[in-house]
Amino acid sequence: MKMSSAASRRNSCRGVVCGSRAPSECHVRRRGSSCSYFSPGVQTEDFTVSLSQPIFTITLRFLLAIDLWLSKRLGVCACEESPWGSIRPLVRLVEFSGHVAPWLIGTVYTLLRGGSAAEQETMLNLALALMLDLLLVRIVKTLVRRRRPAQNRSEILSTFFVERYSFPSGHASRAALCARFFLAQLVDTDSMRVLVVGWATMVSLARLLLARHYVTDVGFGLAMGYCQYCLVERLWVTWDCLQDPLLMRLRESLSSAYSGLWMLDWKH
């Protein structure tokens, strides 16, 4: 009896040790899989549905579940271990082509080096459109505060230039805005139209392949950028309308400076 009780105590102690060790080992294995969609520490959305809920709530939860599932399926370049991880550098290059920094720098440079008034007017409105898009996307992201997909992997550049909020996609809205701007103002051949539309599509798709956004983020961003050009076209700033206020302010500055110098000479 004593030997059996001692053996049972050893077995129970061994079971306790193994039981306490198993969760830690499982936790280590989960932490090691950095490319899993549901990474540790990230709370996933709850899509439990009850029949007592309103039909609108049930439909919304169902659509969000589809959005989550489809976004997970499309994130095939989230990391090097992903199914399409070998083309990740190329996809990131396409993604960078829709970043706001090169677009603003290129637009301002073309505006300052423009050879004609019509070219400068076009580049001025493009710069204003880019700043409007940047402002509206930031406002919507701050209001919605939707977190990025857990599959998203942060690099050194994305740590400084990518926001933590996901809805809507700024790359998608910028791609749609610039594509429609170019199609309406600068592009006049069918081959260039196909190239511009293909670029906007590839930028939006790159955000999904890299798991930067959900599908609804990209879709709303495309619609947002498309509608922003309507506002830019309605509020189009012409070069003549811009020159008149500048000339008036320049005359006022020159007259005030001249009057100040005259009063200074009169006192002497």
> Structural domain boundaries of the chain?
75-244
The reported pTM is: 0.69
pLDDT band of 242, cuts 50, 70, 90: low
User: So what's the pLDDT on residue 48?
Assistant: 57
Buried b (16+ CB within 10 A) or exposed e, 198-217: ebbebbbbbbbbbbbbbbbb
Residue-wise pLDDT for 66-121, tens only, equals 988 988 888 888 888 888 888 999 999 999 999 999 999 999 888 888 778 888 88
pLDDT band of 251, cuts 50, 70, 90: low
Active-site pick, 27, 99, 213, 268: 213
Asked if 94 contacts 202 with a C-beta cutoff of 8 angstroms, the reply is: yes
Q: Is 239's pLDDT higher than 90?
A: no
Average pLDDT over residues 252-257: 56
Average pLDDT over residues 209-214: 91
User: So what's the pLDDT on residue 217?
Assistant: 93
Identify whether 213 is a catalytic site residue.
yes
DSSP state letter for 86: G
- The per-residue pLDDT of the chain, averaged, comes to 76
